[in-house]
Structure formats: structure tokens, C-alpha cells
A and B are shown apart, each in its own frame.
Chain A
């Protein structure tokens, strides 16, 4: 059975919580992630919850945020191009 977006994010958060010092802080982690998501929206990053969660995990694993930001930006650009190529001819 495929995982939904929400499930995926929850599992990611749980993993964060596990990685954090206190194991019973799932709620806290959830709130923190919600705060992060709010900030993401506020800053108009264009990240959805899953992508953000993946980014969180990458950062947890020591990825440089600036490099990661470049990667994400490039991936989004490619995505837009691919979507454009797919939708373009049919749209016209």
C-alpha cells in the first residue's frame, strides 16, 4: 500500500524525534516542523511538506544548506521544464 504524503512527513518527523535527545518529543518535533513549514510558506520557498522534510533530514545529515538550496532550485527548474515540455504541445 503506497504511503501518503502525510504519512511520509510523519515518519520523517518521527525519525527526527528519534534522532533528537528526547524520544518522547514527537509532538514537539511536529510543532517545530509546523513552524518550519509556516516559515517556508511565509518566505515563499515553494517547498511542499515532503520536500521540506527531506531537506530537514539532509541537513540533519550534514548537508550544506546553501548547496542544498542550489540543488533544490535546480531540481525545481528542471521539474518546471519537464512539465512545460509535457504540457506544452498538448496545451496548444
Chain B
């Protein structure tokens, strides 16, 4: 343990110094034991100088890779100097220098992570110090030296004696540069108190500061203090301005001459920040113009003006755009003067383009500043030519888009902006311009896409600024029957009269196909979220949410941008393949190739340098520009900005539609399926429809037979008909078929006194004109004619009249009924009030048909048997002497029987036709519709369509007031009623003329219908009516009386 003695003292010192334990403490003893045991009994290898050397070199390389070149150099230098130190020569301990280096390397702790500043500053300070020291010493050599400022702080390693000596030598030359050091240096050591600053020193400091400032300040080119811009050459071509002044007799110096280099820099600055300058001025309207009397030495003032004037317009345009961008900075938005978010997004897109332009201008400025290549104004014009063309297009789009009428809604402003951009993309001729416009369009569209995304994913339409084209009408609740049709409205209702050239139309071309799908999805989402579908079923809202989340893994903005980007890139690739043979139009490609070549050159140059360093910096240098500009932007903006040029013309509408429509269509389909399943399975929509059809279209024949028989009996028996008893009876009937739905039915009797009075007047006037040809009159669906006629022959007219005061009867002698069905939500979405109204029209039509048939069926032949016997027994003596067409009673009775038969055949023909050719196909179609389980949209639309078709086919009228078939039925009923009267009460005394009259009226009726249907079938395509028409035409009775 020879070494232990050597280590003891040092170990104690080390522990005391590092840990602060004092000798004798327990901790001290333990620490000492630890240190000694580790130093004496270790398993470490002896120092290997080669390994240490490699480590040091590796560390230096690491510094280099991390870009800390100065540190690397410093480490190398220090190592070299350390190893070369004479202290280690002939040292008794071998390799002590390597031991020390090894120690430091082992203790080294992430040296590359140490902040650079302090060290570098110090290094820089030292360098400056050295430089200044050298120069000062050099300049002040052999001059009287003076002492100013505080002393140089002494080295920490100087002994007190040395430092006192140094302080004494105030005239030392090393003090002179110390005044130039910063105060940090002077007051670095708190023990060093600065001496009082003398006046001379102050003056010198002021002088130095002024000199520094003047050296660092760049004077304007046109300033009188700036160096002369006159050409050095005496060649006439270089002094055109001077010669021109002499020639024109203009006083020399009137025209200010500016160097081309200076003008180029001014132009670049002006484009970077369009403000008035020495070359360009701006008037109150913001229009830029060229300042007069400026010229390049090699041009006349007019030529110079011509050379520069082309920049005035772009400057004005840039100024306008910059002002717009400034006003629409999203961060500085004032809540009360909030612009539409779409405009803010557009401004953000403009800002991105502006940054690109500025970056390009920066590159140009660097090239101009470097002066390593010939840069002229013509070169500059060529460099910015494409950018200015793009600027012109953008400005044009900008002005068109923002030229909205006063008071326009935010929605209109947004759609107009988008429409203008779409049009501009479609009309762009240059690939670069097109790409810029596509990028702008995508930026601007972001708010719309964001709204759609939120709507699709979360089911709520968040559009606080009301600029989305679809708006939710909050007055229509989700349980309202109008919900499906009116809950969402188009936000352009105030702009219905759009000009044909209005850009909004272009945008609508893109949005129109989407609107239906989007609203359908929105409504489905809202409905499904309210419908309490069983949680375990597949219809669960959560299941939908999960599905939609899966479907929309990334935001809609990203999806659309990726799609457009992909489409544009594919076009570009295709274009490149096509243009490969002829390389005359490959400007962009050339630029890229040039960049690649530059990069390769750089690689070649770096080959001699450190390969690791180059490997580490290759990628970062490549992406430097992009990453620097995109530092503060989000992912979508980066995606948009990374989009390359669009070499081929694209249709923005189709591009965006193809991006959005498939996704929206998929979601719509999925949601529609869910909703339909939910409505059909959980909310029995189909059962409700079946019940309605069973009652109102009389599909449930037996049940409805009971109901209308009961009604007819009451009417014929002149009993009072009230809504309550009818409702109860109807519910009683329906309950046998649909027990759970019967309660929703109710019957209302319509009271329409005005119509009744009108019909009464008509009857009074045309009472006896019934034998004439029939005309379709514009009469209401209800009237008193039948009632009046019926009452004329009624046995108890007074009672009937009393009844009539309560109830309005139709011409078919029936009260006008309105059957209501209180469809529970959500079935009321389909069975709306309008639908019920149409179905009631059909119900009344069917009821009148049943009424006629029922009336005729009640006329039994056996009722006439008594009259037959009488006729054959008594003899035919009761002939009317005035009746020229007198015939025996059996013959008249036979004619009555025939008439009854004709009428029954006629009415049954009609009944069978409608039952088989109209209602049966409707029934099958509705059943098929529900079996197919289409979307609710389709169900509603198809159902409406089928109902309208049914109405047309049954009533054959375009309006509710002119219904030809209803009129015919009314007339048939009237005839039936008259026949019934004759049949029941006066068959024996019926005159031949009366029978003839009835026959003639029937013949007229038949002929009228046959004629009407023939015309109807001829003029329209109604194949189902052809059978009926043919049957009626073939059986037209001959007129017996003219």
C-alpha cells in the first residue's frame, strides 16, 4: 500500500473541498474509505494514449457534427497545446498528460448540450480584444501613450505581488485597448473598482461611438453624403444621361443619376414592402408612380422611366393585398367588426403566397448583394416576371371576389369568394398561377370544410358567423313534422336573382350535388341522436359515432387537400412524361435541376471536408427554407403550401367534388341505412302507412264496408251524423285490424256554409237543365244539390232540412268527412298534414263510388214484383194521354230494371278499374318501397310521387276544384237517387217519358265520360286508362231522346 500514503492527504483535501465534511466526522471517514478503496483497489486498465487520442478526435468530430465548429477547433487546439506543454517532459510519472485527458473525458458530461452563447461571446470578445490590441499597439507605436479607464483585471493566477506591480504600471500599453472593452469586462471582477472617467475619455468614447455608427449605417443612394453614382467610365454609352442633358440644354444635375445596382436593390425592397421610396411615390388613392427626373447614367430619363414604370401597377396591387392581409390578421380580429372566417382563411392563403414571394425576393437580393454574377434590371424583370403575372391574377380575383353589394350576408360573401377562386382556377393558363390559385382556393375553403367536418362527425352545425351555405332553422324542432323538409335552409335566399355571371353560381355547381347529401346526413344525425334507439342494437348513436370516426380518420381539410394534391401531382407527372422529349417549356424543371446541380456542387466541395458533418446537414439544409417559413403554421397549411405546380388545366368544381362527394355519399348511405332501419324496426313506420291505406284507401275492404254501410244507413235514414260517433265507430272497426293504431284515427265533418250556399244558388238557376249535355263545372267538392233533390222527394223533408243545417253534404249525398290520423313522431315525418289532405281527397272519392254502387245494389228486382202483378192483372189503362211514347207498364218496369243494370255495370266498371289498375299497383309499389329499405329521403320523395300519381289517376284533375270523375260520380249518384225514388215509391205510376228522361241522362253521362276519357287517353300517356276507355266507348248507349 505504498500509494495509500501519497493519496491520504489529497483524499482528505478532496473530501473536505467537495463534500464539506470535516475530519473526524463519520461521513468523512466513510467517504475517505470509499475514495481510497476505489483509488487503490480498482479494476480499470492503464491509460492508453491512443484510445484517449481517438476519444478526443471523436469528440471534436461530434462538436463539428453539431455545428459547433469553434468548440471543435478549440478542443483540438487546447489538446495540442496541452500535450506540447514542456511540463510533462521528463515527468517522473509516465503518461500523466494522457491520464489527465482521460480523466476529463471520463468526467465529460454532454458537452454538446452546453449553451453556446457565453462561450462563443467570450471567444468572440477575446478575438476582438486581440485584434484591437494588436491594431492599437500597431497604430500607437512610438506615440505618446496615455492612460484611460480602469485597469485590466488581473489574471486569477497572478500573485498578489505581481498584481500590485501591474497596477502600478499605469502607463502600460496594454491598458489602452482596455477602454474599448465593454462594461462587462471592466466590472467583471467586483473587487476591481473603475477609476473615474475623465473628460478626455468621454470625448473619445463619443467619437468612437459616432465613428462606429457612421461605419455601420447604410446611407440612402440618393443622399448627398452617399458616394457618387456617376459612372467611372468615360465611354459615351455609359454617360447617356449626361450627353442627353447637354443635348437638351438641361442644366447638368437636374436629373438625378442612380446606379443600376442601387435601383435593383430599391426595386426589390419596394416589392418586399410596397411603401413610397425615392424611386416610387404613392398618391392618396394608393397608386404608385415613378418619381420624375431619375435616370440610370447609361439611359435617358424617359428610357429609365419606361424601364421601371411596369413596376408601378404591381406595387399598387401588392399594396392593396398587403393592406387586406393586415386588416384580416386573425389575431387582431375585433369581435364587433368580425369578417367572415372564409375571408380570414383567404387572407391567410394570401399571406402564405406573400411570404413565398418575399422569400424569392430575398434570394434575389442576396444575389444582387453578392455581386458574383452580372445582375441587371432586365435580369431582375425576368426573374420576377412570373411572380408579377401571378400577382396580377390574384389581384383581379381579389377585386372581383370582394366587389359585393352593400349589406350582403356573410354567406354570400363567402360563397362569392369561393366561386371567384373556382372560376379563376378553371381559367388560369399558367401552371404556376394555377397552382397558386388552387392553393388559395384550398386555404379559403378550409372554413367550409371545417364546418362540414364538425357537422358530419359530431352532428351539429357550428357556424357562428352564418357564412356556411346551409343554415339550421332553429324554429323547426326535431319532433316537428316539418323537420325533414324545412329544418335546414339555403343561406342565399336574399340573393335569388343572381346574375348569370355571378361567381356564386360557379360555387353552387360544386355545392349543389353536396347540399342534398349534407343536409340528409345532418338531419339523419340529428334524428338518430334524438331517437332513443336501443343501446345494444346496431343503431346506437355511439356505433354511428365510432363508424364516422373511423371513416374520417383525418380531418376533412386534410382529406380534401391530400386528394387535390394527389390529383395535381398525377397531372404533373403525366405532363412531365409527355413533355420529356421537348424541353423547351421546362422552366420550373430547369430551376429545380439548377438547384440540384448547385447542391451537387456543394456536396463535391464538402467532400474534402467532414463527411459526417455533411451527412448531418444535408437534409436540414434542403428543408431549411420550408421549415423556416412553415414554423408557425399548422399541418394543413403546410400540406397546401407543399403542393407543386399544376401543369394542366383542371376543373376546380370536379376536383373538389371528386374529393368530397364519395366520402359524403358513403356517410349518407350508411346513416340512411341506420335511420331507415330505426324508423322501420323500432318505430313501425310501415305499420302506420298500412293502417292509413287500410282506412283511407279502403284496402281493408270488410272493415271499411262496415264503416261506410253504417254511415250510408245513417244518412239515408236521415239520422244525425256527428263526428264523435263516426270516430268511435271507425276506431272500433280499425281496432280489429290494428288494435294499437286505432286510437290515432278520428273523423271530422267539414262545415262549409259558403260553398253550400253557392251550390244552392246554382241549383235554383239550373234546376231543369240536367237533361242537356254535361259540362265540367267548376264546383266545390261539397254541395247541396243531391241533398236538395233528395229532400224534394223525401218523406220527411222538415227533418232532413234540420239535419242539413248541421251538416254540409256533398253532391254524393254524404257529409264531407275528413279522417285524421295523429301519427306519432317520427311517423309524422312521412304522414304529414299535406299527405293526409291528399289521402282524404281520395277517401271522399272512393266513398262516393261506394255510395253509388251501394245505392244501386239496394234496388232489388223483387221490389217491382208487386207492380208486375198489378200490371198484368189490372191491365194497361193508366197510360198518360199526353205521353206520346206511351208503353205498357211491364215494358216501363223492364226499362227501369235495365237502367238499374246499366248504372250498376257502369259504376262497377269504374270501381273495378280503380281497384285493379290504380290502387292495387299503388299498394304493391308502396310495399316494394318499404321492402327495399331506401333512405328516408327516398321514402318521402317516392311516397309523395306515388300519392300524386294516384290523385291524378283517380280524380284526373290538376286542381282540387275541377275533378271530372268526382263530378261524374256525383251525377251518377243523382241519377241513382232518382231511380231509387222511382223504384221504391212510384214504379207503378212512372211515366214512359220519365224513364226515357232517366235513360237519356244516363246515356249523356256515359257519353260524356267516354268522350272525356278518349280525349284524356289521346292527349296523355295513360296506358292504364285505355282499358276503361275502350270498355266505355264500346258500351255507349244510344240516345233515346234528343
Contacts and interface: CB of A to CB of B under 8 A. Distances in A.
Given A6-B157, A43-B107, A59 B15 contact: no
A30 B85 contact: no
Nearest to B82: A35
B77 to A, nearest CB: 9
Interface in B1-34: 3, 6-7, 10, 13-15, 17-20, 31, 34
A10 B10 contact: no
B89 interface: yes
Contact of B114 (A21, A30, A44, A59): A44
B628 interface: no
B18 to A, nearest CB: 5
Size category of the binding interface on chain B: 35 or more
B293 interface: no
Contacts of B42: 64, 66-67, 70
Contact of A39 (B17, B90, B104, B109): B104
Given A39-B104, A69-B103, A64 B91 contact: no
B100 interface: yes
Nearest to B17: A50
Most buried by A among B14, B104, B113: B104
B378 interface: no
Nearest to A45: B107
A48 B803 CA distance: 120
B74 A6 contact: no
A65 interface: yes
Interface in B837-890: none
A25 B87 contact: yes
A75 B35 contact: yes
A34 B157 contact: yes
Nearest to B30: A78
B75 A6 contact: no
A16 to B, nearest CB: 7
Interface in B35-58: 35, 38-39, 42, 44-47
Contacts of A76: 18
Contacts of A58: 7, 10, 14, 39
Contact of B71 (A42, A51, A64): A42
Contact of B7 (A33, A50, A56, A61): A61
B18 A65 contact: no
B111 interface: yes
A25 B89 CA distance: 12
B156 interface: yes
B99 interface: yes
B90 A21 contact: yes
Main secondary structure of the interface of A (DSSP, over half): helix
Residue of A9, A20, A25 with most chain B CB atoms under a 10 A cut-off: A20
Nearest to A47: B107
Given A51-B17, A66-B42, A17 B87 contact: yes
Nearest to A34: B157
B39 A60 contact: no
A65 B102 CA distance: 6
A32 B79 contact: no
Contacts of B108: 43-45
* Max chain A Cβ within 10 angstroms of own Cβ: one of B34, B35, B113: B35
B764 interface: no
B107 A28 contact: no
A85 to B, nearest CB: 12
Contacts of B38: 67, 70-71, 74
Interface string B81-93: 1100111111111
Contact of A68 (B13, B34, B88, B103): B103
A9 B86 CA distance: 19
B107 A69 contact: yes
Interface in A5-31: 6, 9-10, 13, 16-17, 19-22, 25, 28-31
Given A30-B157, A36-B82, A57-B10, A62 B31 contact: no
A54 B14 contact: yes
B96 interface: yes
Given A32-B87, A67-B42, A59 B93 contact: yes
Interface of B: 3, 6-7, 10, 13-15, 17-20, 31, 34-35, 38-39, 42, 44-47, 59, 71, 74-75, 78-79, 81-82, 85-93, 96, 99-111, 113-114, 119, 156-157, 159
11 contacts: A20-B87, A25-B87, A43-B59, A62-B6, A63-B7, A65-B100, A66-B42, A66-B102, A70-B42, A76-B18, A78-B31
Top 4 nearest A-B pairs (CB, nearest first) are A69-B106, A67-B42, A65-B103, A21-B90
Interface of A: 6, 9-10, 13, 16-17, 19-22, 25, 28-36, 38-47, 49-51, 54-76, 78-79, 82
Given A43-B75, A64-B42, 19 more contacts: A19-B91, A30-B157, A35-B78, A35-B85, A39-B75, A43-B111, A44-B110, A54-B10, A54-B14, A59-B93, A60-B91, A61-B7, A68-B39, A69-B102, A69-B107, A70-B38, A71-B35, A75-B15, A78-B31
